[in-house]
Amino acid sequence: MPKYLVEGGRPLRGTIRPSGNKNAALPLLAATLLTDEPVVLENVPRIRDVQTLLDLLLRLGAEAEWTGANTLRVHARDVGATEIEPELAARIRASILLAGPMLARVGRMLLPPPGGDVIGRRRVDTHFLALSKLGVMVESGRGYRLETGGLRGADVFLDEPSVTATENAIMAAALARGHTRLRNAAAEPHVQDLCLMLNSLGARISGIGTHVLEIEGVERLRGGRHRIESDHIEVGSFVGLAAVTCGEITIQDAAVSHLDSILLAFERLGIRCEIRGADLYVPADQEREVRLDVGGYIPKIDDGPWPAFPADLTSIALVVATQCRGTVLIHEKMFESRMFFADKIIGMGARIVLCDPHRAVVVGPSRLHASVVESPDIRAGMALLIAALSAQGESHLYNVGQIERGYERIDERLRGLGARIEREDSRD
C-alpha cells in the first residue's frame, strides 16, 4: 500500500496546470458506448478511476488505446456483453453511468451496486426514476436488472439535481424516440461538457448550462473528437494549497468561467486571486482573515447544486479556514459522512468543533503539526495532503491510492512547486 512522506512548512511557488476534469472524463467515456464509430478524447486524466471505467468498457466489448499522454481513442464497434463484474463496479461510483448508454445501445443491462467514496448514503433512486420515465423496466435485488423494449422521450422531473442521474438520463434520451424535457437537471461543468460532446457527435441537446434540458432523440450518433475541460475542483485545490503554505502559484488554463462561486468562498476566508486571461494567479501576500457578514455575524461556506460552491471543495475549504484568522461555519449539505475527516485535522492541532455530520465551526489560525493520518476518500485525502504541506515536521499519509483516484501524478506535480513529498510503498 503506497504512502506519502510529506515535509511541511515550506511555501510553494511556481506554475502548475490542472488535469482534465475527472468528473467529465467518466461520463464522456461511458458516452462512447452510444456510437459504433471511434471517439477520441483529449486531456483525459491518467487516474485510477478512469482506468477502472476503461476496464469496464473493455469488458463490454469496446476497444480502447492511449494514442498520447492524455489522449484516448475508444471504439465501441461491437458491444455484446450486458453484465459487468461486481468487483470492478464496486471500485467506482461512475459504474452506474453505463446504464443509460447500454440501454440505448442494446436495450438491457445487469448492473451491480456501484461503489465509490464512503461519504454517506448516495441514492440511486433518481437514476431509476428518470430511466423508468424513458421506458425502462427496473428490477432490484442484489443488483439492478434494467430492460427496455425501446426508449421513448418523456417529460422527466428529477427529484433531486443529481449529477450522475442527469448524465444517465441525457445519454439515454439522446437516442430515445421523440422529445425529452429534463427538469431539475444538474448543470455542473462536467454535465455541460457531456452535452457539448454529444452534440458534436450529432445529438440535439439545448438548454446546456441550465436546469432544464431539451433533448430531441436521434437515430444514431457518429464518431468524433472532444477535448475535456480543466478540472475546476483541482483548480480550487491548488488555490487552497497556495493559501495554507503562503505560496505564490500560477494555475494555467484554469477554467476561469467556472470559478465564480469558488473564488467567492475563498474571498470570505481572506484569500484573493487574480484572473489573468485563461490563467489564475494566487499571490503570496494574503490577508487570510475571515470576512464577517454584514452586522458582524459569523459567515459560512456552504455547498449546493451548481452554480453554488461545489461539495467536492468543502474539505479543502475546512483546511484553509484553519489557517485564517477568525471563525467560520463550514456546512456540507449533501453527504452526511464527508466531514468526519475533521478529527484528523483536529489531531494535527486545528481548532474545529464538529457540530453534527454536516457542520463544522473552524476557529483560526491554528499552528498545525505533523501527524500520521490516513486518507478516507479522494477529497478528504487531498485536504489532508494540503494540511500536511502546511504543518511543521514530517507527516505520513496512508491510503494515498484514494487521492490518486482523482489527482493525476499529484506527488510529482507538487514537487515541481517545491513541495517535499515522497511516495513510498508500505506494508503498515
C-alpha cell at position 423: 511516495
CB atoms within 10 A of CB 119: 24
Dihedral sign of CA atoms 80, 104, 334, 378 in order: positive
d(CA 47, CA 235): 17
Select from 58, 140, 79, 136 the least CA-distant residue to 103: 136
Q: Is the peptide bond before 307 cis (omega within 30 degrees of 0)?
A: yes
CB atoms within 10 A of CB 423: 16
Contact between 328 and 301 (Cβ < 8 Å): yes
Q: Where are the beta strands (DSSP E) in 202-287?
A: 204-206, 212-216, 224-227, 248-251, 274-276, 279-282
Select from 91, 96, 118, 127 the least CA-distant residue to 109: 96
**CA distance readout (Å), 13 to 162, 392, 422:** 37, 18, 18
The greatest distance separating any two alpha carbons of the chain, rounded to the nearest whole angstrom, comes to: 64
Q: Clarify whether 377 is annotated catalytic.
A: no
Contact between 399 and 381 (Cβ < 8 Å): yes
- Supply the DSSP symbol for 39: E
Select from 144, 221, 86 the least CA-distant residue to 136: 144
Q: Which of 49, 55, 78, 117 is catalytic?
A: 117
Select from 245, 213, 401 the least CA-distant residue to 323: 245
d(CA 381, CA 386): 9
SS3 38: coil
CA angle 416, 421, 426 (to 5 degrees): 140
d(CA 218, CA 216): 7
Parallel, antiparallel, or unpaired: how do β-strands 137-140 and 359-364 relate?
unpaired
Q: Tell me the catalytic residues.
A: 117
